[in-house]
Chains A and B, each alone.
Chain A
Amino acid sequence: MSRARMTGLKGIVLAAVTFGATTAAVFLLPQATPSAQTARFDGPISSQPLALTADGATLAVANPDNNSVTIFDVQADHFTKLAEVPVQTEPNGVAFTPGGDKLYVANTVSGTVSLIKLNLANGIIQRPRLHIPVGTEPYGLAMSPNGRTLYVTNARSNSVSVIDVLQDRVIKTIFNAGIEPRGIAITNDGDSDDNDETVYVTQFLSLPSAPGVSDGADNAKVAFVTTISAATNTVTGSVRLNPLADTGFTATGDSLARIPPNSGTFVTGAYPNQLNNIAIKGGFAFVPNTGASPNGPFRFDVNTQSLLSVFNTATNTESGTPLNMHLAVKNQTNPVKTFITQPWAIAFAHHSDTGFVAAAASNLLVKLAIVGGAATVQNDPSDTTRVLQIPTGKNPRGIVINADDTRMYVMNYVGRNVTVVDLTTSPEHVITTLQSAALPLPGTQAAAIHIGKELFNSSQGEFDPVTPGGPVITRRMSQAGWGACSTCHPNGLTDNVVWIFPPGPRRSIPLNTDFDQTDPTRSHMRALNWSASRDEEEDFEGNIRAVSGGQGLLINADGSQSNTPPLSDVDPANGKPNTPRLQLTVNGVGAWDAIKLYEQFGIRSPISPVSKTEPDVIAGNALFRAANCQQCHGGPQWTSSAIRFIPPNPAAFNANGEILSELRQVGTFDPTAFNEVRNNAAPALGANGFAPASLLSVFAYSQTFFHGGAAESLDQVLNNVQHRSAGTSGVDTLSNAADRQKIVRFIQSIDAATPPIPIP
C-alpha cells in the first residue's frame, strides 16, 4: 500500500493552538509534508456496496439499514472489525482511493457522498466531516483506476456526479445519463492516465423496444447501458441489450397469440431487466439481470429468468445473446436444484478468466468461466452432477475480489454480514462470516419487519421447525428457489413489467403504496391489484403458489409442510379470511405477518428530483385540483382505492372477483389492444374499470403507464380526454397542452414529502 503519508520533518509552518474562542498561541514548528500518492487499482472498476483497498488489506462495507459503514482489517486474514462509522441515511455504495486514505460513501436518501479519511498506519479512522451534495438518490460509486476521479450514479435525477478526489468537490454533473442509473464499471488500460478510459452506467429498468410497442411480450423491452468518456465526462452513447429469443424453457400456450394453456410446447423469450451491476473482463462488459418473460400462460419457470448480457467494450455492441444461467441448473443431472434467482452482482478474478455472480434471492454464488465474450456457469469440481453454488449469507448484493485472487468478499444485505470465500481451493469455499452491523433486537417490531424483508427477498425462506429442535422448514417461497417477491418487486417497488396475469395485462405495482405511509399504524390499505381483487396481503399466497410454484406459507393445524389449505380456500372472494390462518413462523413471528409488516413499514418511496417549489409544479398542483384529479388520485396514498371493510366480505366482490366499488372507468381499457388478454388466452378483464393507480413516486417508473403499459409517458396519460375529464363530469378542463405539461411536472414531483391532496 502506498498512501499519502509524512515522509519526514521538513519545512516550517505556522501552527496554532486554540483553547476557547479567543485565545490562541502561535509558534513555529517543524511540519510534515505528504508524499505523492502512487497506488492505482489493478483491473477494471465496478461499483459495489463493499470495497477493498488496492492492496486488499482493508475492506469497507455499506450497511444501508444501519446508516453506517464498517471497516475491516482483512490483511493476512485478520478479519478484525476496526470501526463502524456512522454516515448519513441509507448508504448503498462505497469506494476507496487505491491507497486507502479516503473512503467515499453514497448516502441514497440524504443525496450526499460522505468522505471518511483513514490513516490506519497511524491508528486513526476519522469521522466523516464532509458530506458532498450530489444528485437525488446516489447509489453507485466507482473510483477511476488512478484514484483521482469518483463517479456517482444519481438514480432518481438520472445523472452522474463527477467528484475530483483531490478537491473533494463535484466538478461536473452529467445529465441525461439514462433512466435510473445504477451500476458503474470503468475500463482500465493500466496506464496512469485515466482520460482514455470509458465509464459504463447501467439503467436499472428496461424500456420499450420501440415507440408504440406495448409491454406484455417477451421481447417488448430492451435494456441500456450508458457510455461516458472519462476524458470529457460527457455521455457518448448507449449500448442496447436485447431480449433473449429462447430461454430454453417452454410454455404450454401463448397468451398473446390467444393460445390457451396445455396446447403444446411453445418457446419463451425474456428481455433484460433490473440491471443493478456491471463488470468488465477481457474487453467485454457483463451485466447480470433478471429477465422478464411476461407472456403467459404462467408456470414457475417461464416468468423470470437469470440472464447475463454481454457487450464488447471496443465496439459498444452486444456480444451474442444473453446467457440464461438458469439453464445450467436445469441441465444439471443432480435432481436437487436451486435456481440462480435475481442475479444482482458480479465480479471477476484479476489473473484468471473466472468470475462470480451473486444470486440475491437464492443466497448463493455461481462461478463463471469466460472465453472472450462468452460465459459459462461452472459445475462443482467435487460433484460434477451439480452446478457449483457457494452459499452466502442472506441476500447477497455485492462482491469484491482481492488483487491476488485469494479472497472474495460478499456483502449480504439482509444478513448484514460479509461472507469470506477462499479462492485458492477447488472448489472455492467459505472460510468465515464477518458481522458488519447489528441486527434488530429479537422480539421488537424492527426484528419482525426484518424477518419480513428476509422472506420478501428470498426464493426459499427458512422457517421454524414443526417441533422445537426438529429440522427447519425451507424452500417454501418458490419451486426450486425460482422466484421471490423481490423478483418482480425489487426493494419492494416494481420491475415495471406488464405481466399477462389471469385477469389480463397488469403492470407490477410498487408496494410502497399499499399502506398509508402517513399513518403511524399503517392501518389503511388500498384495494390490492389493478382489478381490486384482493383485500389482504395474505391473498398473495396465491402468487407464491401459482406464479412461483412454492408450497406457500399458510398451513393447516398440524403445521406440516405438505398439508396446506387449498388455493381455492385462500381466494379472497370465498369468504374465508386469511389473516387468522395458521402460518409458518420465523423466530416465532408469523411469516405473512412479517411480510405484511415489511410492506407497511419497510418500503421507502423513491425521492423525486423535482423541486416542490418549482413554479410549474405549483401551477400544476392548482390545475390538478381544479380538474379534480384528486377524486381518484387524492389522499395520502394518492389513490382513492381502499379496503373499506374488515375481511372477509365476499359480497364486496363481483363474479369476476373485483371489488366493483373501487374500480373507475376512465377510458384506459381498450379491449382490442394486442396485450388485452388473460393468462388463459380469454379476453381480459377491464370493462368495469381499474383501481386508480397511486401517484406516490410514480415519476420513478417511466415509459410504462396504465395497467397494461398503453401510455409511455405522463403526457400520453393526460392525452386521454376521458381520463383527464373524469373528475369534472366529462368536461375537459385540460385541453391546453401547456396546462397538461404543468400537471405532468407536478405529478413528477410527488413523493412522500408532498402534502397529500384530500379526496373530496
Chain B
Amino acid sequence: MKTIRGFARVGVMALAMTGALLAGTRTASAAPINLETWYEFTFIGAGQPAAGCFPTDPNGDFCVFGAGTPVQPAPAPAWTFVAPTGGAVLTVTDLFESHDGFLIFDFGIPLFITPPPSENPPFSCGADPVVCLASNRISHASFLLAAGAHSLSITPYVTDPDGGVGAFQVSAVPEPTSLVLVGSGILGLVARARRRASERRTR
C-alpha cells in the first residue's frame, strides 16, 4: 500500500502553504457515502475541485464506467462519513489515462497527495479502480483516517486538459491492521529522520 510518498515530489512547502490558506474552508454541500464502496468522481482541470458524476451530482460531469469492479457515481462533494473505532483507509486512484494527480482534503485541510503520474509513455488502466491500483504508472495513494467524522474533497493538481475521472474508496480498518499501519508509519518516520540526520552528518 502506498502512503504519502507523493508529497516530496511536488513540494511539501507548496502543500503546506496551500493547507494554511485553505484551513477553515468548506464545500457548500455535503453528501454521505458508504464504506467499502468505490465511487467515481469527475474533474475538468487542475486546480478546480472535483465533482461527482452527473446526474447524481447535478454539478458533475458524466462518468464512463467499466464492467469490472462495481463503482458508484459519486454524489456532490464534500463526501462525508464516520470512520469506525479502528479508523479507516481512504484510497484514491486515477482512472483511465495516467494524466492525473490529486490533492485530498478533509474538512478543507490538506490530507495527502497522490504522486505525480507517470507519463512516458502514456498509459491507460481503464475504468476498473482495482486494476488501476495495481499499476505503478497510475497516480494513487492511501491514507489512514482516525475514527470519527470526516468530510472529504479532492482537487486535482495535474490533469489532462480535457478532464477525466478518478475513484476513491473508504474502508474500515480491522483493529490489528490499523495497529500495523500506525506502527509502520511511525517506523517510517523514524527511519526518515535517521536518514536525514545521517545525510546532514555526511555533508
Q: A19-B26, A119-B162, A124-B62 are in contact. Are A31 and B46 (CB under 8 A)?
A: yes
Is there an interface contact between B47 and A8, defined as CB atoms closer than 8 Å?
Answer: no
Q: Does A6 contact B (CB under 8 A)?
A: yes
Chain A: CB-nearest residue to B24: A23
Q: Does A438 contact B (CB under 8 A)?
A: no
Is there an interface contact between A16 and B47, defined as CB atoms closer than 8 Å?
Answer: yes
Q: Does B120 contact A (CB under 8 A)?
A: yes
Using a CB–CB distance below 8 Å, which chain B residues touch chain A?
10-11, 14-15, 17-18, 21-22, 24-27, 40, 42-44, 46-49, 54, 60-64, 95-97, 99-100, 103, 105, 108, 116-117, 119-120, 122, 124, 127, 153, 155, 157-165
Interface residues of A in 285-304 (CB under 8 A from B): none
**Smallest distance from the beta carbon of B151 to chain A beta carbons, Å?**
12
The answer for the CA separation of A177 and B62 in the assembled complex, in Å, is 37
**Smallest distance from the beta carbon of A153 to chain B beta carbons, Å?**
28
A30 touches which one: B124, B158, B160, B165 (CB < 8 A)?
Answer: B158
Q: A25-B18, A27-B17, A31-B46 are in contact. Are A123 and B161 (CB under 8 A)?
A: no
Q: Which residues of B contact A27 (CB under 8 A)?
A: 11, 14-15, 17-18
Q: Does A76 contact B (CB under 8 A)?
A: no
Is there an interface contact between A6 and B160, defined as CB atoms closer than 8 Å?
Answer: yes
A119 touches which one: B11, B21, B27, B164 (CB < 8 A)?
Answer: B164
New A-B contacts (16) at CB < 8 Å, excluding given A30-B116, A127-B54: A6-B97, A6-B161, A9-B116, A15-B157, A17-B103, A19-B26, A19-B27, A27-B18, A28-B14, A29-B10, A29-B158, A117-B162, A122-B165, A125-B61, A125-B64, A127-B61
**Which of B18, B46, B54, B127 gathers the greatest number of chain A CB atoms within 10 Å?**
B46
Chain A: CB-nearest residue to B19: A25
**Smallest distance from the beta carbon of A116 to chain B beta carbons, Å?**
9
Q: Which residues of B contact A625 (CB under 8 A)?
A: none
Interface contact tally, CB-CB below 8 A: 136
Contact with B along A107-128 (1 / 0, CB 8 A): 0000000000111111111110
Is there an interface contact between B162 and A9, defined as CB atoms closer than 8 Å?
Answer: no
Q: Which residues of A contact B100 (CB under 8 A)?
A: 122
Is there an interface contact between A124 and B99, defined as CB atoms closer than 8 Å?
Answer: no
Q: Which residues of B contact A32 (CB under 8 A)?
A: 99, 158-161
Q: Which residues of A contact B62 (CB under 8 A)?
A: 82-83, 85, 124-127
Interface residues of A in 390-420 (CB under 8 A from B): none
Chain A: CB-nearest residue to B61: A126
Q: Does A446 contact B (CB under 8 A)?
A: no
The answer for the CA separation of A117 and B163 in the assembled complex, in Å, is 9
* Chain A residues within 8 Å of chain B by Cβ, number: 39
Using a CB–CB distance below 8 Å, which chain A residues touch chain B?
4-9, 13, 15-20, 23-25, 27-34, 82-83, 85, 101, 117-127
Chain A: CB-nearest residue to B46: A15
A contact patch SS: strand
Chain B: CB-nearest residue to A30: B158
Q: Which residues of B contact A16 (CB under 8 A)?
A: 47
Is there an interface contact between A24 and B96, defined as CB atoms closer than 8 Å?
Answer: no
**Smallest distance from the beta carbon of B158 to chain A beta carbons, Å?**
6
Q: Which residues of B contact A101 (CB under 8 A)?
A: 162
Q: Which residues of A contact B120 (CB under 8 A)?
A: 8
**Smallest distance from the beta carbon of A77 to chain B beta carbons, Å?**
15
Chain A: CB-nearest residue to B47: A15
The answer for the CA separation of A189 and B165 in the assembled complex, in Å, is 38
A4 touches which one: B25, B48, B161 (CB < 8 A)?
Answer: B161
Q: A15-B47, A119-B160, A119-B162 are in contact. Are A24 and B116 (CB under 8 A)?
A: no
Q: Which residues of A contact B99 (CB under 8 A)?
A: 6, 32, 122
Pairs A–B under 8 Å by Cβ, sample size 19: A6-B122, A8-B119, A15-B157, A18-B49, A19-B25, A20-B26, A27-B14, A27-B18, A28-B14, A29-B46, A32-B158, A32-B159, A122-B96, A122-B163, A123-B64, A124-B42, A124-B162, A126-B62, A127-B62
Q: Which residues of A contact B10 (CB under 8 A)?
A: 29
Is there an interface contact between B14 and A9, defined as CB atoms closer than 8 Å?
Answer: no
Is there an interface contact between B22 and A23, defined as CB atoms closer than 8 Å?
Answer: yes
Q: Which residues of B contact A23 (CB under 8 A)?
A: 21-22, 24-25
Q: A9-B119, A126-B62 are in contact. Are A4 and B162 (CB under 8 A)?
A: yes
B contact patch SS: loop
Q: Which residues of A contact B46 (CB under 8 A)?
A: 13, 15, 29, 31
Q: A23-B21, A27-B11 are in contact. Are A124 and B47 (CB under 8 A)?
A: no
Q: Which residues of B contact A6 (CB under 8 A)?
A: 97, 99, 119, 122, 160-161
Q: Which residues of A contact B49 (CB under 8 A)?
A: 17-19
Is there an interface contact between B61 and A122, defined as CB atoms closer than 8 Å?
Answer: no
Is there an interface contact between A122 and B157, defined as CB atoms closer than 8 Å?
Answer: no
Is there an interface contact between A123 and B164, defined as CB atoms closer than 8 Å?
Answer: yes
The answer for the CA separation of A83 and B64 in the assembled complex, in Å, is 8
Q: A9-B119, A18-B47, A122-B162 are in contact. Are A29 and B64 (CB under 8 A)?
A: no
A123 touches which one: B22, B95, B155, B157 (CB < 8 A)?
Answer: B95
The answer for the CA separation of A85 and B119 in the assembled complex, in Å, is 31
Q: Which residues of B contact A121 (CB under 8 A)?
A: 96-97, 124
Is there an interface contact between B44 and A126, defined as CB atoms closer than 8 Å?
Answer: yes
Q: Which residues of A contact B40 (CB under 8 A)?
A: 123
The answer for the CA separation of A346 and B158 in the assembled complex, in Å, is 45
**Smallest distance from the beta carbon of A9 to chain B beta carbons, Å?**
5
Q: A5-B160, A34-B161 are in contact. Are A124 and B18 (CB under 8 A)?
A: no
Q: A6-B160, A8-B120, A29-B10 are in contact. Are A19 and B108 (CB under 8 A)?
A: yes
Q: Which residues of B contact A34 (CB under 8 A)?
A: 161-162
The answer for the CA separation of A124 and B95 in the assembled complex, in Å, is 10
A-B interface, 6 closest residue pairs, ranked by CB to CB distance from nearest: A122-B164, A19-B25, A119-B162, A27-B14, A123-B165, A83-B62
Q: A27-B17, A122-B96, A123-B96 are in contact. Are A19 and B162 (CB under 8 A)?
A: no
The answer for the CA separation of A541 and B25 in the assembled complex, in Å, is 69
Q: Which residues of A contact B11 (CB under 8 A)?
A: 27-28
The answer for the CA separation of A83 and B165 in the assembled complex, in Å, is 14
Q: Which residues of B contact A85 (CB under 8 A)?
A: 62
**Smallest distance from the beta carbon of B65 to chain A beta carbons, Å?**
8
**Which of B14, B26, B47, B120 gathers the greatest number of chain A CB atoms within 10 Å?**
B47
The answer for the CA separation of A82 and B61 in the assembled complex, in Å, is 12
Is there an interface contact between B64 and A82, defined as CB atoms closer than 8 Å?
Answer: yes
Chain B: CB-nearest residue to A3: B162
Q: Which residues of A contact B26 (CB under 8 A)?
A: 19-20
Q: A17-B103, A23-B25, A29-B10 are in contact. Are A124 and B157 (CB under 8 A)?
A: no
Q: Which residues of A contact B158 (CB under 8 A)?
A: 9, 29-32
The answer for the CA separation of A19 and B50 in the assembled complex, in Å, is 11
Is there an interface contact between A17 and B165, defined as CB atoms closer than 8 Å?
Answer: no
The answer for the CA separation of A18 and B21 in the assembled complex, in Å, is 10
Is there an interface contact between A122 and B22, defined as CB atoms closer than 8 Å?
Answer: no
